[in-house]
Structure 1
Amino acid sequence: MKKIMAILLCAALIASFTGCGKTDEGEVSQNAQEAENQGTENTDVANTEKEEETAKEDYKFAIIIPTSGNEYFQGEIDALQAVLDEYGYELNVISYDMDATKQVSSVENLITMGVDAALIFPMDKESVDTACKSAMDAGVKIISGGIALDNMNALYNTDQVEAGNTISGMGCDYIKETYGDNEVEVAMLVDTSNSNMATRSEAMKETLAKECPNALLVKEIEANDTESGMSAAENIIQGNPDVKVVICINDASALGVVEAYKAANVTEIAVFGSDGTAEGLKKISEGESLKGTIAFGAINLGEQLIKLAKGENVDELLSPPIIKITESNVAEYMAE
């Protein structure tokens, strides 16, 4: 009897251990499955976050310019393209060809194009501000070049008074060095097509009158590109042959003046411009009649646009320093 009871007790003990073993194995299996499911969920979340991060990095940019035939604006395009290419970002280049209606539609199209941030060079505030508001309401970040708008994230603008003062200041220095206190006839090519150029033009005239009282301004003509600059110079050569200095609103018009005087075989002429274009610097370095220009120090607008697209803040005013370039230092800037 005792032997039978011992056998039954052993059987019961074995059964109890076996039962416990089955329960633990089930729990382990269940826990493993839960861990596997949790791991899958974590992987899915990580992949989703990665995809969202990648999508956010796929930014599109645009530059809207008034004309495609200007070396200054081409320089702005090239500078932006170089920066954005480093990141693999797309840059859309849009010219509104000095057409106010086309300018507005160009800004409105930024929304349908899916542009995240744009550099815009407006004709004037009134014609484009409403379109910029619509674009910003749709999430487009805007840097305005040259004209302060009610609807923009930042203003990229030169101190136009300082620019005008510096251009005419170079002309005055040349007159003093070359002609002393003798009276010298001067012509000026100005641009009043927008508020910035009008401000620069006015500063040019004021500085000439203030710093060079022996300079006699005998001709003032509207010109802002090479063709109009050449036409203006031909007019001056015919009507005012004693002009010795021509002070120009920009390099584009100044280059037209240089070519016109060269074609007329007039050598006693000094021309001054602005914008520090490659062709302008080349003419100065070659000892042509273009004697000086101003350039604008570097502001990395590409990086500024990228910051805006990412939701980061930038300075409200992006103003480049003004650099005076003459034959004495032109080589330094041509090498860059």
Structure 2
Amino acid sequence: MRKKVVSVILCVAMIAAMVVGCTTKSPTSGGDDKKDDEKKDSYKVGISIQSLKNDYWAGVMGKLEELLKDKGWDYTLQDCSNNSATQISQVENFITSGCDLIMVHPSDADALETVCQQALDEGIKVMCWDDPMENTTANWILDNTALGNKIGATAAAFINEHYTADKPAEVCVIGKPSTKVLLERANGIKEGLEENCDKGNYKVVAEVDGLEANEAQTNVETVLQANPDCSIFVGVGAGAMIGSNEALLQKFGGAGNIPENYGVITTDVTPQQLESLQAGDEAVRAIIGFEGSSLDTATACMEMYERILDGEDFSGDKHNVERPTMEINLDNIEDIMKGM
């Protein structure tokens, strides 16, 4: 009898063990404990950009910080000083700190691909501003060649109004060829000039660096010493416009003295650019902008954050989200200035 009782107990124990074994979940792989599309009231965001010395970036990031604070989100904004090694380290720190979203404005997009893949492997969303990267959730980009074409075409309209083949305009192109997207933009400017200028009424006499205003001003002053008749300055950003405009103001003794056939045409949108355009007595003749004001751009960026964090599908052809461009002129400048 005792043997039968022992046998029954052993059978019950074995069955219980089998039930437990069948209902125990196997360990999950790393990163699965973070739900990809889980909606939360607050998120943690890491942002690494090329440089806050750039007036355009400083303005937009200031407005973006205001929006992030209003949302109550935790964020870290860092400037990599155009150094890819520094930027990689910043992204690594964002991964370690457990960010929900990382945004990069790459100094060197190719150099960031590996570390951005590491972020994706950890279940972190990654957004790139400007470059069509591979290892991201989504890229928020400009067609930089097309943007350059538009700058060149706008400058060509000004050149066609003031210059002929008998008296061609001398043009200086201000860029940053070491940065891929800015090289594309500068090449686009030259294409736009070539396609839209009247035959023989311009010649490019200089190409210089000038992403930041002080660098652009110094280099334009050097160009003016070597080419005193250089009168048209086209560039890839705000620094090119602010620096070259200041160099021309100094050359001619201040606002109101700039000849009507001198002009500066670039992209980006900063208060200083808008004020110079609105004044009407400086060298700034046109700006090719994006969403509008700094606040408009920051708001559009914040909307991208929310779309990504809400789990929108950006695979395949939807991976690159192109930003719009617009010409800023006296008809719309007042509304734009309100959001700066």
Both structures adopt the same fold (TM-score exceeding 0.5): yes
Evaluate the alpha carbon distance shift between residue 226 and residue 135 of structure 1 in structure 2; reply closer, same or farther with a 3 A threshold.
same
- Displacement of 1:310 after TM fit? 4.1
Query: Would you say the 8 A contact 1:124–1:147 is kept in 2?
Result: no
Structure 1 stretches of 5 or more lacking a match? 1-53
Q: Say yes or no: does 1:99 pair with 2:86.
A: no
In 2, Cα distance between equivalents of 1:92 and 1:74: 15
Q: Aligned to 1:250, which of 228, 233, 237?
A: 237
Distance of aligned partners of 1:55 and 1:331 in 2 relative to their CA distance in 1, 3 Å threshold: closer
Q: Tell me, in whole angstroms, the C-alpha distance in 2 between the residues paired with 1:196 and 1:108.
A: 24
Whether 1:270 aligns to 2:263 is: yes
Determine the C-alpha separation between the residues in 2 that align with 1:310 and 1:55.
6
**Partner amino acid for 1:117?**
L
Between the aligned partners of 1:318 and 1:278, the Cα distance in structure 2 is 26
CA distance in 2, matches of 1:311, 1:335: 33
Q: Given that residues 42 and 71 in structure 2 are in contact (C-alpha distance below 8 angstroms), is that contact kept between their aligned partners in structure 1?
A: no
Which residue number corresponds to residue 26 of structure 2? none
Q: Distance in 1 between matches of 2:330 and 2:312?
A: 41
Q: Which amino acid aligns with 1:208?
A: L
More helix by share: 1
Q: CA deviation at 1:74?
A: 2.0
Which residue pairs with 1:330 in the alignment?
333
Indicate if the aligned counterparts of 2:106 and 2:112 stay in contact, CA closer than 8 A: yes
1:218 to 2:211 alignment: no
1:149-164, aligned counterparts within 5 Å?
149-164=133-148
Q: 2:279 aligns with which of 283, 286, 290?
A: 286
State the Cα distance separating 1:83 from its structure 2 match.
3.0
Q: What is the count of residue pairs matched by the alignment?
A: 283
Distance 2:161 2:125 in 1: 49
1:229 aligns to what SS in structure 2?
helix
Residues 286 and 329 in structure 2, CA contact (< 8 A), matched pair in contact too: yes
Looking at structure 1, the residues matched to 332 and 74 of structure 2 have their Cα atoms a distance apart, in angstroms, of: 36
Summarize the alignment of residues 107-186 of structure 1 with structure 2, pairs less than 5 Å apart.
107-181=91-165, 182-186=167-171
Deviations 1:21-62 (A, max 9, x none): xxxxxxxxxxxxxxxxxxxxxxxxxxxxxxxxx994331112
Q: Which residue identity lines up with residue 82 of structure 1 in the other structure?
A: E
**2:187 alignment counterpart:** 202
**By how many angstroms is 1:271 displaced?**
0.8
Alpha-carbon distance, 1:148 to partner:
1.8
Alpha-carbon shift at residue 224 of structure 1 (Å): 1.1
3-state secondary structure, aligned to 1:219 = strand
> 1:204 and 1:303 mapped to 2: Cα distance?
30
Residue 21 of structure 1 corresponds to: none
Which digits, 9 at most, give the CA deviation of each residue in 1:59-82, with x for residues without a partner?
111211011211222233234323
Structure having the higher Rg: 1
Compare relative contact order (CA 8 Å, sep 6+) and give the higher one, 1 or 2: 2
Aligned to 1:296: 290
Deviation at 1:91, TM superposition (A): 1.9
Q: TM-score with structure 2 length normalisation? A: 0.78
Unmatched tracts of structure 2, length 5 or more: 1-37
Question: Partners of 2:230 and 2:239 in 1: how far apart?
Answer: 20
* TM-aligned CA deviation for residue 328 of structure 1: 5.0
AA of the residue aligned to 2:190:
K
TM-score under structure 1 length normalisation: 0.79
C-alpha distance 206-307 of structure 1, shift in aligned 2 (>3 A): closer
Report % sequence identity: 25
> Hey, which bits of structure 1, 4+ residues long, moved more than 4 A?
none
Equivalent position of 2:14 in the other structure:
none
- Cα deviation 1:252-290 (Å, max 9, x = unaligned): 121011111111226232111111222111110012111
Give the RMSD, CA atoms, in angstroms. Answer: 2.0
Distance 2:325 2:304 in 1: 20
